[in-house]
Structure 1
Amino acid sequence: MSNPDYTIYIKTADYKGASTDVSIYITFIDVNGKKSRNITLTDDIFGGKFEKGQTNKFPVSDISGLADLKFIEISRGIWGFGGNWFCECVWVVNEQVGGTPAPVYFPINRWLRQYVTLKIQKWDCSLPQNDASPQQRAKEIQEKQTHYVLDRKFPGVPAQVKDLPQQEMFTDHYQNDVLILSGASLGIVGNLAKVFSGDWKSVDDISNLYQTGCGFDVPQGRYRWDEDSYFAKQRTQGCNPVIMQLCTKIPSALDVTNDMLKPFLEGYTLDDAVSKNKIFLCDLSMLHSVPLAGVPLDKELVHPYALFYLNKEDELTPVAIQLFATTDKRYPHTVFLPTDGNVWKLAKMFYNNADAMVHQSSTHLGFTHLIIESIAVAVNRTLSMSHPLHRLIAPHFLYLMAINSLAITSLLAPDGWIDTTMTAGRDGVLDIIAHHFKVWRLDVEGTLPEEIKARKLDDPKVLPDYPYRDDGLLVWNCIKNYVAGVVNGHYKNKNDIANDFELQNFAEILVAPYPEGCEIKGVPGNGKFKTQEEIISAFTSFIFTSSAIHAAVNFGQYDEYGFPPNYPAFMNGKAPRDKSPITEADLLKQLPNKPMTVSIMTITRVLSQRATESLGDFEVNYTYDPVGVAALKQFNIELKEASAIIDERNKHRRIAYNHLNPKNIPNAISI
């Protein structure tokens, strides 16, 4: 057989229903507009080509006289099994003597439907005002708008996609290797939960659970749960490290006094310690009116304050907890202190239970999973796949809608895991999200440097040891530089931005009230992007939230929740009203019982799995244009440098913090 003139490579996407056995037709178009013959690529009689996740190679001949390729036209036949076909990418190698040997990439990332021919430009990356096929592009967006419809599934929370589009479903690989195996472990541990019954008899009794051969590692919280220093560390590197703020004034409802705290402030009065920036506050008073639902047990969700002091060794230590942060006289204002014995331990547990409700509802579910899904729907409704910003953001939506759909139908279902293992229950969790969404802003809570500044913790001299801030800012800057490389490479001036009608439609839908839009506050430009800086800020926030914030608040869950005294998802009975002495047995009675503990351990272990690639290493490659390729290459260089810095920092930390090391950050919210 003579040498081919060209070799065509075709990759079918790894989506459900992406395969086909019909013929595929391709025509080359060179930079001068000259066309090749129509090339027919067929499956063989045994099948096996154009299967999902597969790359096929086709040598072709009788094509000569073409200059460098600029476009392809691609379509599918109308006869055969497998209707629509989702092609990920086509690349072509010129095998002729004197030809350019480098592959020419034509990323498709689209469904090919009957009777439709797509014209795809090399790299397929252009602003809409520069697109060579504007009608095709507009029709594509119109079609996607029928599949990506905003739907607010619960009152007051960020909108999601109404029905899960086919291409957003889990791949078979992810379904089989991650979710089914996880489901199997849930079944095994579900049976284990039936074996364990009743309440815990001692702390050691809980620890025995890790010795049963059921596959549970000993969570980090087991070793330090009763240390005050670790209780403080949970505020700076636990799974909810976004609550603590510098205390510049003691809240009026917090009944602490100078005399009360004198033994813990190393000679300072409370007023002096506040003035010298040595007092830090956690304020969860927003939980005051949260409705409780779920298991019909006697329970109470507190709405606490906690005060921390930065000692002479620059270490945080808790000095006071008041479990009811309200002027409502129905609630006592008892202030619990580190010298209060077991009742102090119980106060810390009730505080952490309240913190856990904020973590699971607002910090985790509401403002990583749901807010990013809302943004993902907006992207798909307004930005063509050919848009450079769609290609930039697409890797960070992998499995997002699928995992959220699964969570809504299982964990968040009535009588589901949240109802049966969390104090707030389903209704309480949704209420917390809705309450926070009223005030949440992309340019504050969704922008790491501003979020830290709002809590007055941006100065390392004020709080020297804050791993979430320090490692997070490293990653933030890597992402910002990456986004800037793409944005500045495609938008040369303000006219490029103003004339990008897809981008402006996207900006508008982000801020528009539901049901027309996502109703997100604080979007730079407030519905109209005008500068490169505004675009860079917004897309940096989107990617950082999808990757780094989710990693920080998700992957430490088992280490925190896996040992109930450390960070209890559920507390039985009422919180302490006074300092009456209690025993360890009294503490244990208020913790989750054995079956509930096993359920909490199981789910948080599954949620703590990393099952996709690290930041910058994309499962699906969307970027082939020179601007994007150069930006991505530099991004990975900077991520590697950041990873080395964090590795070195961890050598000197009392407790290593790995959740924001780039090698441990997935690209997207996929679990």
Structure 2
Amino acid sequence: MGAKSSKIAFEICSVTGDYKVAEQGPTITLHLYDRDGNASPAFTLSNAFFQEEDGSIRDKFTIPLASWCKKGFGKVQKIEFWRSVEPGVEYVNYDWFCEKVIIRDRRKGLGGKWLYSYFPVHRWIHPDRHYYSFDCQVSLPSADPMPDERIAEISERRNNLLFYQRANGLPLELQALPAEEIFSQDTRWNIEKTKDEIIYNKGLDVDYASVDHFTSFDDLTTYYRAHSITEPLYVQRWPANPSGPEHDLVFGAQRLKGCNPFVIKVCKSIPENFGVAVEWLKPYLEGWTLQHILDARRLFIVDYSIMEGVECKNGRQFCSPIALFFWTERLQLVPLAIQLNQRMEEGAPIMPSDSPHAWLQAKLWFNLTDACYHLVANRLLHHLILEGIYVTMRKNLSQSHPLYQMLAPHFRHLLAVNAKLKEWFFSDSGWIAQNIQLSRKGIRQLLKKAFKAWRFDQQINIYRELENRGVYDSNVLPGYPYREDAMLIYKAIAGHCDKAARLYYANPMEAMKRKLMEDIELQGWWAEMTNPLEKGGLGLKGLPGKSGIQHVDELIPLLTNLMYMICVHGSAAWQPQFDEYGFPPNYPLALHGCLPQDPQEEQPLEASLQSLPCRREFIDTVLSFRLCQRQKGEQPLGEYELQYSHDQASMQILQEFKDELARASATVKSRNGHRDPLYIYEALDPQKMLNYLVI
């Protein structure tokens, strides 16, 4: 509908988030209500949106000035709408996802002040049902003006969102992706078709069918430019002698700013099962004794005992290495020794003074383990845990709940992303399952081990996580890029969550405990997250609160750690992926052949090429990670593609968060201007960080 009169009372804009079949939207009937409950006549909006031939979307309607709204009708406070059928108009039988409705009050004319009302909807609009929304609607359960509608909304979700467990000891997963969680733009995660097109268009089909290995490192490094493939950063940093000290610096820097900067620990003593003698280390300690280095906290360790017993593919080998690293007086981390198995009798440690071939092989096999751990324990596991958290949030919190509106933008597309990620890991045809060293059984074994050890108050509490590794003190590994930037962003997030929690629950402070305990949705969400798996819960350990959330000081870390897990940990684990995995000698996802047994074995460095992925594996891995990297959302951290909150207080808190992130971004850029080139770290610059997890 549209008004021909120049005197317009209201402009109505429906913001369409997604649509199917996609030429025109359904016909909608709408009532407006003011603060006193006065109702407008019913208005028919023919086609809630309409796609013109040029692809543009028409979704704005006008209501003419009439007697019903000239006097006695105040600011629009509530809307009621439903799908309807106009006489003589063919019924459009498909769903429509409405994000929000914006109403502009123009009754004071072009020269007067126009009043805006925002009505959040954020749902699929089905036939034969009435929908209601309030201006800037945000309310706790006890204050909702329409509690029956709220209960019906949650009940519908509970019926549609069901869990199952892939295997004992693994996190719960969504049984099936409901239709209302599927969006047309989610097809961007289907990168296989694009990958096939690139292989064909760039003439890579012959190599993609080949199991031959590259014949030289020069052949491998020049392959990108020869075929117009984007070069990962580490192609340029690959040294002429990859077994020498130049590559050792790159290898050490990976522990502090690579895909997996969460594992290096202070070494307090040499482990008994690590067969390195003190005299072997002495030449590398810059004249200091080992005890002095230990006391100064300059010796570090990465111990992958968790990988012991994890199954790899038939015909392949795998390892559970231990590696020692030394923080030099030049403020650089270098490897000292790598033992590729937990038991000394299975192989002696390999050191920089051993044969160049053995030392390069030791670094390759260590990085293979690191890469497998990163993808399974720090990517897949976190996606699955967040899937459970998001689904339980959907099952317990109404879309009008302030915490739902705060967190929902950070879970955008999660279920579609996870569906694709699980296909890649668990299906025989998935490109990760095909290219990773681990068997599908091995993936599940590692997933189970990592989930058993995972705690909410350990792995995603930045202070506790750094303390557990002995690297919280800024005097230890001074300038550690991940730690410095992660703590900066964590503080900004914590401040944002503190303000939001106190706005909704501690205003006034005297009412805090009552508001929290009356919030049956929040308490139900907490219970479902903490209940053990055998009782239908997620079985998450270490959440704040002993018998529910009873104080804002328990709510704040819950919100902060969730946002940290998605935005900070998620960005740190995802952003460097293409630069790391995109050049297999730097960070291999698979290796052929056998573990090095003799540290003194002399072979030309080119012999290591036979260990690296073959041409088909190389192309599949490089293109897949490159295409994944291109799927990042366009908005920087804090700028949401879909805004749920519109009330003035929430918008003010969000703006303050954006301002704090802008200052943090400037700080990160300044730090990078002074960092050693090997330690420049952009993954946690808020302008490049993720608002939500991507593939």
TM over 0.5: yes
The residue type equivalent to 1:302 in the other structure is C
CA drift at 1:507: 0.3
Which residue of structure 2 aligns with residue 142 of structure 1?
Answer: 155
Please give the alpha-carbon distance, in whole angstroms, between the structure 1 residues aligned to 2:230 and 2:625: 11
Inter-CA distance 21–243: structure 2 relative to 1 (3 Å threshold): closer
| 2:690 corresponding residue in structure 1 | 666
Return the offset for 1:601: 1.0
2:321 aligns with 304
> C-alpha distance in 2, partners of 1:54/1:104?
20
Measured after TM superposition, the shift of residue 360 of structure 1 is 0.9
- Following the alignment from structure 1 to structure 2, what is the Cα–Cα distance between the partners of residues 177 and 570? 23
Cα 1:439–1:186 change in 2 (3 A) is farther
Contact map agreement 2:102 2:118 (CA 8 A) in 1: yes
Q: Is the 8 A contact 1:504 1:528 kept in 2?
A: yes
Quick one: which of 482, 485, 488 aligns to 2:499?
485
Provide closer, same or farther for how the CA distance between residues 31 and 381 of structure 1 changes in structure 2, counting only shifts above 3 A: same
Shift of 1:29: 1.8
Structure 1 stretches of 5 or more lacking a match?
none
Aligned 1:457-472 pairs, distance under 5 A: 457-472=471-486
Alignment-mate amino acid for residue 347 of structure 1:
A
Q: CA deviation at 1:214?
A: 3.8
* Equivalence for 1:158: 171
Deviation digits for residues 223-273 of structure 1 (CA, Å, limit 9, x no counterpart): 246311111100000011111011112221112222010000012222221
Within the alignment, does 1:510 sit opposite 2:529 as a pair?
Answer: yes
Per the alignment, residue 468 of structure 2 pairs with: 454
Q: What is the 5 A alignment of 1:226-625?
A: 226=242, 227-293=247-313, 296=314, 298-326=315-343, 329=345, 331-367=346-382, 369-492=383-506, 493-514=512-533, 516-526=536-546, 528-579=548-599, 580-612=601-633, 613-625=635-647
Whole-Å Cα distance in 2 between the matches of residues 527 and 234 of structure 1?
Answer: 41
C-alpha distance in 1, partners of 2:547/2:174? 21
RMSD: 2.5
Q: Give the CA deviation at 1:596.
A: 1.2
Shift in Å, 1:338:
4.5
Q: Is residue 510–residue 518 contact of structure 1 (8 Å, CA) maintained in 2? A: yes
* Residue 326 of structure 1, CA deviation: 3.0
* Residue deviations 1:189-229 (CA, integer Å, cap 9, x gap): 76253365512211112113113224232442552463111
Match of 1:184 among 166, 191, 197: 197
Mapped partners of 2:623, 2:465: distance in 1? 32
Secondary structure (helix, strand or coil) at the match of 2:457 reads coil
- The answer to whether the 8 A contact 1:353-1:571 is kept is yes
Structure 2 SS opposite 1:473? helix
The letter of the residue matching 1:253 is: N
Q: Deviations over 1:327-366 (max 9, x none)?
A: 6x4x224343455422111111111111111011101121
Taking the aligned partners of 1:238 and 1:454, their CA distance within structure 2 comes to: 20
1:194–1:463: structure 2 CA closer, same or farther, 3 Å change rule?
closer
Aligned residue among 2, 10, 13 for 1:6: 10
Q: Distance in 1 between matches of 2:49 and 2:449?
A: 60
Whether contact under 8 Å (2:492, 2:661) holds in the other structure is: yes
Instruction: Name the SS of the counterpart of 1:13 in structure 2.
Output: strand
1:444 match: secondary structure? helix
Change (3 A) 1:83 1:452: same
Asked if the contact 2:28–2:48 (Cα under 8 Å) also holds between the matched residues in 1, the reply is no
Tell me: CA distance 1:631–1:267, structure 2 relative to 1, closer, same or farther (3 Å).
same
Q: 2:188 aligns with which of 159, 168, 175?
A: 175
Are positions 1:108 and 2:121 aligned together? yes
Secondary structure of residue in 2 paired with 1:105: strand
| Farther-moved stretch of structure 1 (309-318 vs 182-191) | 182-191
Query: Are the equivalent residues in 2 in contact too, given 1:128–1:134 (CA < 8 A)?
Result: yes
Q: Check conservation: 2:211, 2:615, Cα contact below 8 A.
A: yes
Contact 2:104–2:116, Cα closer than 8 Å, also in 1: yes
Which shifted more, 354-363 or 159-168? Answer: 159-168
Q: CA deviation at 1:287?
A: 0.6
Aligned pair count reads 664
1:508 and 1:528 in contact (8 A); partners too: yes
> 3-state DSSP class of the match of 1:662?
coil
CA distance in 2, matches of 1:95, 1:196: 68
1:88 aligns with 2:99: yes
Q: Residue 229 and residue 370 in structure 1: after superposition, are their counterparts in 2 closer, same or farther (change >3 A)? A: same
| Residue 69 (structure 1) shift | 2.5
8 Å contact 1:614–1:667 — kept in the other structure? Answer: yes
How many angstroms apart in 2 are the aligned matches of 1:639 and 1:174? 31
Query: In the alignment, residue 595 of structure 2 is paired with which amino acid?
Result: A
**Retained in 2: the 8 A contact 1:558–1:604?**
yes
Say whether the 8 Å CA contact 1:319–1:338 is kept in structure 2: no
* In structure 1, distance between residues paired with 2:52 and 2:390: 33
What is the aligned partner in structure 2 of residue 32 from structure 1?
Answer: 36
Instruction: Name the CA distance, whole Å, in 2 between partners of 1:250 and 1:426.
Output: 34
**Would the alpha carbon gap of residues 111 and 459 (structure 1) be closer, same or farther in structure 2, given more than 3 Å must change?**
same
Alpha carbons of 1:54 and 1:445: their partners in 2 closer, same or farther (altered >3 Å)?
farther
What is the TM-score with the length of structure 1 in the denominator?
A: 0.93
Cα distance change of structure 1 residues 435 and 78 upon mapping to structure 2, 3 Å threshold: farther
1:205 equivalent in alignment to 2:219: yes
The whole-number CA distance in structure 1 between the counterparts of 2:197 and 2:302 is 39
**CA displacement at 1:78 relative to structure 2:** 5.2
Q: Displacement of 1:97 after TM fit? A: 2.1
- 2-structure distance, mates of 1:74, 1:90: 11
Matched, 1:123 2:144: no
Are the equivalent residues in 2 in contact too, given 1:507–1:529 (CA < 8 A)?
yes
C-alpha distance in 2, partners of 1:377/1:551?
Answer: 22
Q: Is 549-558 or 186-195 further displaced after alignment?
A: 186-195
Q: Aligned pair 1:23/2:45, yes or no?
A: no
Structure 2 residue matching 1:119: 3-state secondary structure:
strand
Cα gap change, 1:513 to 1:477, in 2 (>3 Å): same
5+ unaligned residues in a row in structure 2: which ranges? 507-511
Amino acid at match of 1:90: V
Distance 1:326 1:202 in 2: 34
Q: Is the 8 A contact 1:210 1:217 kept in 2?
A: yes
Distance of aligned partners of 1:301 and 1:526 in 2 relative to their CA distance in 1, 3 Å threshold: farther
> How many angstroms apart in 1 are the aligned matches of 2:35 and 2:81?
17
Is the Cα contact below 8 Å between 1:6 and 1:94 reproduced in 2?
yes
The separation in 2 between residues aligned to 1:384 and 1:578, in whole angstroms, is 62
1:148 to partner: Cα distance: 1.8
Alpha-carbon distance between aligned partners in 1 of 2:438 and 2:335, rounded to the nearest angstrom: 25
* Partner amino acid, structure 1, of 2:529: L
CA distance in 2, matches of 1:40, 1:240: 56
Structure 1 pair 84–206 and aligned structure 2 pair: CA distance change class (3 A): closer
Q: State the one-letter code of the partner of 1:606.
A: L
| 2:82 counterpart residue number | 75
> Secondary structure, in 3 states, of the residue corresponding to 1:88?
strand
Label 1:365 to 1:338 Cα distance change in 2 as closer, same or farther (>3 A): farther
